[in-house]
Amino acid sequence: MVRTRSSRPLRVALLGCGVVGSQVARLMLTQADDLAARVGAPVELAGVAVRRPDRARETVPPELVTTDAAGLVASGDIDVVVELIGGIEPARTLIDSAFAHGASVVTANKALLAQDGPARYAEAERHGADLYFEAAVAGAIPLLRPLRESLAGDRVNRVLGIVNGTTNFILDRMESTGAGYGEALAEASALGYAEADPTADVEGFDAAAKAAILAGIAFHSRVSLDEVHREGITEITASDIASARAMGRTVKLLAICERSQDGRSVTARVHPAMIPLSHPLASVREAYNAVFVEADSAGQLMFYGPGAGGAPTASAVLGDLVAACRNKLNGGRGPGESAYARLPVRPMGEVVTRYHISLDVMDKPGVLAQCATVFADHGVSIDTVRQSGKDGEAELVVVTHRAPDAALSATVEALRGLDTVHGVASIMYVEGE
């Protein structure tokens, strides 16, 4: 028998019983003694709200299952609401109702937080409740708590990571098998790594929501979803991957949040980028996630682990649940919104980065000089050039030094205008060097 400090059970309402929710319910029921010992009081599953009661009954006792989520949240004796429905509505209304009824909230809802986080924080604050959401970013990896709490005395300058498992799986398959995008996506779907409609993942919406959340926490400043530059992976070709490989690089979909050099503004972006094969992120395989955090005092930190999946995400949810329950019991509060820094978010054009550009050019003397002049005219310095000819046509591959994105795109536009340039085969960011 585990001794606990209090015998009043903490009552938890679970909203949603899908891939993650069913694991949360299972763990709450099977590890009840451990949870009680860690919280200091029994943690009781008060009810599970679902759309289709039949499926939930496989994992939870039938008497706990209800289709009335609003009624469950409003029942008046709920200490913590675990929201795993996802999407904007009815999740938002249910979360606000939870706060209004004095409950704290644990959620994995990155879409809602990225779009409407500040208002949810404000509601939590107004009712003296907690809002925890470790599971919303990078699945099982403890990332938000370290950023919000462990690094609370440091100054974060950069967060760079792989935060979407589906796209990492697809790019990893393209890299390891030479497959094209379509084929790799089909494999990801067959193995359950991609949803029936993969848009949110492959177009970078999911990663962009996570980037907005990460930037907000890292820089103590609000970054809204529409301030995150976003590009997906649907236009990456097998030839892009091969070209990266030929230069000792691989392609990853990265979320990058940066503080400017003067510290007075920030940027947030999601796009595919070439990184060196020697970079630790290059060896992040399959659906794993990994995030680098660079801070003034701490230096460079890395966090790595499963970025999705029922049990791993449930682990993050339960960690938050223990924290929310402990606060209920001991009268403490988890961290609220910290957005005091009020830093402006600069647009993509002002991001300083590097390009890898493949051009189809005429195979004749002077073409390289002509192209090089275009780069110079736009203030873009060239790092390396590789030229290879074939039947009167030549391929020119240029990797630039760091320059503002606006200058880089203007360079590409000007190159397109040259008679000797038949086409721009690909443009890709280069990071991590």
Subset of residues 302 to 321 that bind a copy of itself, contact rule: CB under 8 A: 302-306, 309, 311-312, 314-319, 321
- Residue 2 interacts with a copy of itself (CB under 8 A)? yes
Single out the catalytic residue among 210, 252, 328, 364. 210
Question: What is the torsion angle, in degrees rounded to the nearest 10, for the CA atoms of residue 166, residue 259, residue 245 and residue 180?
Answer: 30
Closest CA to 432 of 288, 306, 283: 283
**Minimum CB distance to a copy of itself smaller for 276 or for 305:** 305
Helices (H) and strands (E) in the chain — how many of each? 15, 17
DSSP, residue by residue, 280-314: GGGG--TTEEEEEEEETTTEEEEEEEE-S-HHHHH
- Residue 265 interacts with a copy of itself (CB under 8 A)? no
- Residue 53 interacts with a copy of itself (CB under 8 A)? no
- Where does this chain touch a copy of itself (CB under 8 A) — which range of 68-76, 136-144, 355-363, 423-431? 136-144
Residues 6+ apart with CB under 8 A from 415: 357, 359, 371, 374, 421, 424
- Residue 296 interacts with a copy of itself (CB under 8 A)? yes
**Minimum CB distance to a copy of itself smaller for 340 or for 392:** 340
- Residue 16 labelled as part of a binding site: yes
- Residue 150 interacts with a copy of itself (CB under 8 A)? yes
Least separation in angstroms between CB 242 and a copy of itself:
23
Subset of residues 320 to 359 that bind a copy of itself, contact rule: CB under 8 A: 321-323, 326-327, 330-333, 335, 338, 340-341
Subset of residues 9 to 28 that bind a copy of itself, contact rule: CB under 8 A: 23, 27
Q: Which of 71, 118, 248, 280 binds a copy of itself (CB under 8 A)?
A: 280
Q: Which of 18, 19, 31, 286 binds a copy of itself (CB under 8 A)?
A: 31
Report how far apart, in Å, the C-alpha atoms of 159 and of each of 164, 202, 259, 264 are: 14, 21, 9, 16
- Where does this chain touch a copy of itself (CB under 8 A) — which range of 35-43, 193-201, 236-244, 269-277? 35-43
- Residue 20 labelled as part of a binding site: yes
Residue count of the chain, please give it. Answer: 433
- Coil/strand/helix, residue 39: helix
C-alpha span between 302 and 283 (Å, rounded): 13
Residues 6+ apart with CB under 8 A from 146: 293, 301, 303
- Where does this chain touch a copy of itself (CB under 8 A) — which range of 56-64, 149-157, 194-202, 266-274? 149-157
Q: Residue 66's beta-bridge partner residues?
A: 49
- Residue 7 interacts with a copy of itself (CB under 8 A)? no
Least separation in angstroms between CB 27 and a copy of itself:
6
Least separation in angstroms between CB 287 and a copy of itself:
11
Question: What is the torsion angle, in degrees rounded to the nearest 10, for the CA atoms of residue 46, residue 41, residue 145 and residue 216?
Answer: 50
| 3-state DSSP percent of the chain in helix, strand and coil, to 5 | 40, 25, 35
DSSP tag of 164: -
Q: Which of 70, 152, 191, 385 binds a copy of itself (CB under 8 A)?
A: 152
- Where does this chain touch a copy of itself (CB under 8 A) — which range of 55-63, 143-151, 175-183, 227-235? 143-151
Report the 3 state secondary structure along 216-277: HHHHCCCCCHHHCEECCCCCCCHHHHHHHHHCCEEEEEEEEEEECCCCCCEEEEEEEEEEEC
C-alpha span between 347 and 409 (Å, rounded): 14
- Residue 150 labelled as part of a binding site: no
C-alpha span between 279 and 55 (Å, rounded): 44
Least separation in angstroms between CB 151 and a copy of itself:
6
Least separation in angstroms between CB 396 and a copy of itself:
34
- Residue 285 interacts with a copy of itself (CB under 8 A)? no
- Where does this chain touch a copy of itself (CB under 8 A) — which range of 175-183, 298-306, 368-376, 405-413? 298-306
Query: Is residue 328 among the annotated active site residues?
Result: no
Which two structure tokens, joined as six digits, stand for 95? 């979360």
Report how far apart, in Å, the C-alpha atoms of 196 and of each of 64, 67, 192, 400 are: 30, 25, 9, 38
CB atoms within 10 A of CB 201: 26
CA atoms within a 13 Å half-sphere pointing along the CA-CB vector of 93: 5
- Residue 18 labelled as part of a binding site: yes
Sequence ranges of the binding site for NADPH: 110
Positions in the binding site for a copy of itself (CB under 8 A): 2-3, 23, 27, 31, 34-35, 37-38, 134, 140-142, 145-146, 149-155, 220, 280, 283, 295-306, 309, 311-312, 314-319, 321-323, 326-327, 330-333, 335, 338, 340-341
List the catalytic residues: 210
